[in-house]
Amino acid sequence: MTPLYLQVADLIAARISSGELAPNRPVPSEHELAAAFGVARGTARKALGVLKDRGLVVAVNGRGTFVRERP
């Protein structure tokens, strides 16, 4: 079975692909993602880490996590 954090990462990636989460716009906070998906904050944090590794989002220190521009 796929780990929960990867399932959450895939759901967020789908929202990015569909345009629901637009480029250069902030991604909801870890707390908001945890509440929206019914997971622990640590799970949401790991999901965001996966999205960073995939190059879909970028973390800006002190400002939050943002959707990257599509190439």
Give the global pTM: 0.93
Q: How far apart are CA 22 and CA 69, in angstroms?
A: 8
For CA atoms 5, 7, 12, 17, give the dihedral sign.
positive
Q: How far apart are CA 44 and CA 18, in angstroms?
A: 20
pLDDT tens-digit readout, 11-28: 999 999 999 999 999 999
pLDDT tens-digit readout, 27-67: 999 999 999 999 999 999 999 999 999 999 999 999 999 99
* pLDDT above 90 (res 70): no
Where do the domains of the chain lie?
A: 4-67
Which CATH number applies to 4-67? 1.10.10.10
Q: What is the pLDDT of residue 71?
A: 62
